[in-house]
A and B are shown apart, each in its own frame.
Chain A
Amino acid sequence: MLTCADVVKLVTQYMEDELSPDDSRSFEEHVAICPPCRAFLGQARRTVELTGELKETDLSPEVEAHLLEAFRDWNRPR
């Protein structure tokens, strides 16, 4: 049985159907019996849906500037 941390780590691969059948089944077995992971999977799916609907032109200049600032140094070593 996977842990909740495993579910967090694997959720993107699960939603993109990239897990092996055994891993996919283990993922589902955990989600089926874990209320927080059920909620997490639903939130992850909803996030993908919403960001998929988002267009660049939907952003206000202020939000765009804020996001650019936030991500400018995201991968700089700390």
Chain B
Amino acid sequence: MTAYTFLSEGRTSLFTGVVWPPPGEWLAGREVRATTVDHLVPWIDDELWVCELSEPVSVGAEGEILTAERARLGERIVAWDEAAADDLTAACVARACTHAVDAVRRNGSSEAEALSLLGASEFASAATAVASRLPEGQREVVLFAADVVALSRGRRPEEYETPPDPRGAPTSASITANVAYVTAHVAGTVHPGGYDAGVAAERAWQLAWLRERLGIAEPST
């Protein structure tokens, strides 16, 4: 069965630390896991590979985790690189800010127009002051969106203003995974259809972005 697997740099599994052998050589000796094209986003990491799983393949309850006794890497999807990760991060940041502005606007606040004119960095800097003037509910979503901006710089929100520390800096892809998750949370917080609907819609948008950028197949139905 053909599947996909995100790996850390050097064909390394984030969870087990196992280094996959070069493409074409089987990895065996323990359960090997991969995922389907439909479920790539939650597992974003540095490298994206097509892989082949030996039969039988066990499918997890939600269909996103595939397990087999052996697997081997096929082609690396080279379009997934630092630039692609950075672009997806930037797209998520823009969407998080837009979600926040839309929520403020829907609630009739006069702050919405001023917020909508801010770039991401200005949004983060202004968020605390703006949020203090907003009613509960709108306040949180503005602060969540500001958190997304800070997280996109690879640091915790409370460290936003401090200079970057190159030691142990997270990779572009790990920042993307983080920012995409929190952006989905922002979307869930403001979605008229409820939290789960908002998260699902945002994850679907992120998957569509990945699919288009990387030129990979449509999700199966």
Q: B14 at the A/B interface (Cβ < 8 Å)?
A: yes
- Grouping DSSP codes into helix (H, G, I), strand (E, B) and loop, the B interface class, with mixed when no group exceeds half, is loop
Q: Do B42 and A29 have beta carbons less than 8 Å apart?
A: yes
- In the bound assembly, the distance between CA atoms of A53 and B142 in angstroms comes to 50
Q: B198 at the A/B interface (Cβ < 8 Å)?
A: no
Closest chain B residue, CB of each to CB of A45: B17
Beta-carbon contacts of A26-45 to B below 8 Å, as 1s and 0s?
A: 00110111111011011001
Stretch of B71-79, B102-110, B114-122, B173-181 at the chain-chain interface = B173-181
Q: Do B17 and A32 have beta carbons less than 8 Å apart?
A: no
Residues of the A chain whose Cβ atoms lie less than 8 Å from the Cβ of B175: 35
Q: A25 at the A/B interface (Cβ < 8 Å)?
A: yes
Beta-carbon contacts of B154-180 to A below 8 Å, as 1s and 0s?
A: 101000000000001010001101101
Residues of the B chain whose Cβ atoms lie less than 8 Å from the Cβ of A29: 42
Interface centre among A29, A31, A32, A39 (most CB of B within 10 A): A32
Q: Do B181 and A33 have beta carbons less than 8 Å apart?
A: yes
- In the bound assembly, the distance between CA atoms of A4 and B17 in angstroms comes to 19
Q: B127 at the A/B interface (Cβ < 8 Å)?
A: no
CB distance from B181 to the nearest CB of A (A): 4
B-to-A contact residues, CB < 8 Å: 14-15, 17, 42-45, 60, 65, 154, 156, 168, 170, 174-175, 177-178, 180-181
17 pairs, A vs B, C-beta closer than 8 Å: A28-B15, A29-B42, A31-B14, A32-B43, A32-B44, A32-B45, A33-B177, A33-B178, A33-B180, A35-B154, A35-B175, A35-B178, A36-B156, A38-B170, A38-B174, A39-B168, A42-B17
